[in-house]
Amino acid sequence: MTNSRNITRLYFIAFFHNLIPAYVIERLFWQERGMTVFMVVLCEIIYAVTIVLCEIPTGILADKFGRKALLVIGAVLSMLEFIILLFAFNFWTFAFVVFLAGIAGACTSGASNALLYDSLMVLKKEHSFEKIVGILNSFDFIGSLLAALSGSVLAKTFGLEFNYMLSAASMFIALAFTVFLAEPPRKPHQMEDQGLEKSFAVYFISSVKFFKTNPKLVVIITNSMAIGACVSYLDEFWQLYLDDIGFSILFFGVFSAAISLVRIPGNLIAAYLITHFCAKTIILSVLGVSAAGFFTTALFPGYIGIIAMLVIFLASGVVDPVVSGYLHHRGSSEIRATLESIQSLIERAITFIIGIGFGIIATKATVTTGFAFLGGVSCLFSIFLLKKTKIINFSILHILKKRR
């Protein structure tokens, strides 16, 4: 019963964690406080570096001492972010907030799905993991949808700062639900039998060995994280894109709501798709759609470009449940959070690299040109996925033939 309640509480946490009206006007708020596009990208890089430094240690801490404690720390820091932003008027304050956000993200990224999967294992329902992740993400987007519909009107009526006050309150409610999560029991770790339960290095070494013995999984994760990196910059800068082509701030809420709405179907059908198509085919298809969408957005700024952005968000909704399930079904409980932390680290590292190119191009040219750059990146990763999986499949076939 307790583990069943965990899933319900995770739904509420996902909803309130994304009921954030501040996101609708975030870039305008930052711009009003003196933050340029290049400064924003620098903050994104700070966030990525923080994740790189904290991701694996927090994943190991979650596996070693429990996932709930890390989730509570992350929730506290997430609430503090919005409180501090109300008093942010220079780059270094924004950079400090992003630093806290990086720590919060590292605390929750590995622990959340690990706690979910182990709760499902206790209930003997781990086969429904992709479905639950899809529903969780849908609660994310419903929260974002409601925030978007109200955020622009609230900002126009009461000012940009009011949205940040409401966002801090929503994060406090998410924190309250996090406190009531229960730590699911886990099977004894093989490391305990070896007397190595106190060694942090063993968690990391075990995780690295897991990835080394699953090269196809690494390729699929890398490409899925490339999609996430590109979509994250679309998510960050669509406001400036709409502002450049002459749309009013009142339209921002409608478009932000549309973004949340179109992501829901992809998350809900992910469990269905994975029963009919392999993960490689799904990721490759999303990469192709993303590349075409980014190029269309750059070549046809206006309503066609807006539709192309929505198509990208629709396709990308499939990725997270598919890849999370692909990882967790093959991973083991004792290193589950560490494995997902390494996955998140890969995404942040890719985001860091792509962000440098995007930031330079968007600053020297326009945000629209930066989107064209993201289209090129998506094309390159499509080629990489095709090439790598062919090599891996050929190697496996060669080994099987030799054994015969």
For 78-135, the pLDDT digits (tens) are: 999 999 999 988 899 999 999 999 899 888 877 888 898 888 888 888 788 888 988 9
Alpha helices in 33-128 (DSSP H): 37-65, 67-85, 91-122
Percent of the chain with pLDDT over 90: 16
Residue 204 resides in a domain: no
Residue 10 resides in a domain: yes
Q: How confident is the model at residue 386 (pLDDT cuts 50, 70, 90)?
A: confident
Confidence at residue 52, expressed as pLDDT on a 0 to 100 scale: 78
Handedness of CA 212, 281, 285, 136 (dihedral sign): negative
Structural domain of 235: 2-181+211-403
Confidence at residue 257, expressed as pLDDT on a 0 to 100 scale: 76
CA 189 to chain centroid: 28
Residue 192 resides in a domain: no
Rounded distance, CA 321 to CA 301, Å?
A: 31
Angle at 258 between CA 254 and CA 264, to 5 degrees: 150
Cβ neighbours of 194 (radius 10 Å): 10
Q: How confident is the model at residue 402 (pLDDT cuts 50, 70, 90)?
A: very low
Mean pLDDT check: name the lowest of 26-30, 67-71, 103-107.
26-30
pLDDT tops 50 at residue 191: no
Handedness of CA 310, 311, 314, 318 (dihedral sign): negative
Query: CB–CB of 331/210 below 8 Å?
Result: yes
pLDDT tops 70 at residue 389: no
Q: How confident is the model at residue 158 (pLDDT cuts 50, 70, 90)?
A: confident
CATH of the domain at 354: 1.20.1250.20
pLDDT tops 70 at residue 72: yes
pLDDT tops 80 at residue 242: yes
Rounded distance, CA 118 to CA 146, Å?
A: 31
Between 144 and 50, the more confident residue is 50
Backbone dihedral angles phi then psi of residue 31, each to the nearest 5 degrees: -65, -40
Structure-token pair, residue 316:
């990308």
Residue 95 resides in a domain: yes
pLDDT tops 60 at residue 285: yes
Give the contacts of 148 (CB within 8 A, at least 6 positions apart). Answer: 21, 23, 24, 253, 254, 255, 256, 257, 259, 260
Confidence at residue 194, expressed as pLDDT on a 0 to 100 scale: 47
For residue 374, which of 311, 296, 303, 322 has the smallest C-alpha distance?
296
pTM over 0.85: no
Rounded distance, CA 94 to CA 36, Å?
A: 12
Rounded distance, CA 110 to CA 61, Å?
A: 10
Query: CB–CB of 140/14 below 8 Å?
Result: yes
Confidence at residue 396, expressed as pLDDT on a 0 to 100 scale: 42
Rounded distance, CA 359 to CA 354, Å?
A: 9
Helices (H) then strands (E): counts for the chain? 16, 0
Please, what is the average pLDDT of the chain? 82
Between 167 and 159, the more confident residue is 167
Rounded distance, CA 355 to CA 174, Å?
A: 30
Residue 126 burial (C-beta neighbours within 10 Å; 0-12, 13-18, 19+)? middle
Q: How confident is the model at residue 398 (pLDDT cuts 50, 70, 90)?
A: very low
Percent of the chain with pLDDT over 70: 91
Domains: count for the chain:
1
Residue 186 resides in a domain: no
Mean pLDDT check: name the lowest of 171-185, 255-269, 284-298.
255-269
Residue 189 resides in a domain: no
Confidence at residue 199, expressed as pLDDT on a 0 to 100 scale: 65
For residue 147, which of 292, 17, 305 has the smallest C-alpha distance?
17
Residue 201 resides in a domain: no
Alpha-carbon dihedral 210, 224, 117, 182, rounded to 10 degrees: 110
User: Could you report how far apart the first and last alpha carbons of the chain are, in Å?
Assistant: 50
Alpha helices in 199-248 (DSSP H): 200-212, 215-244
Angle at 197 between CA 192 and CA 200, to 5 degrees: 145
Query: CB–CB of 287/223 below 8 Å?
Result: yes
DSSP string, 283-315: HHHHHHHHHHHHHHHHHSTTHHHHHHHHHHHHH
Around 235, how many Cα atoms within 13 Å sit in the side-chain half-sphere? Answer: 19
CA 219 to chain centroid: 18
Between 214 and 15, the more confident residue is 15
Rounded distance, CA 72 to CA 41, Å?
A: 28
Residue 194 resides in a domain: no
For residue 354, which of 237, 220, 212, 217 has the smallest C-alpha distance?
237
Confidence at residue 197, expressed as pLDDT on a 0 to 100 scale: 53
Q: Render pLDDT for 288-314 as a digit per residue (tens, 0 to 9).
A: 898 999 999 888 888 898 899 999 999
Query: CB–CB of 113/328 below 8 Å?
Result: yes
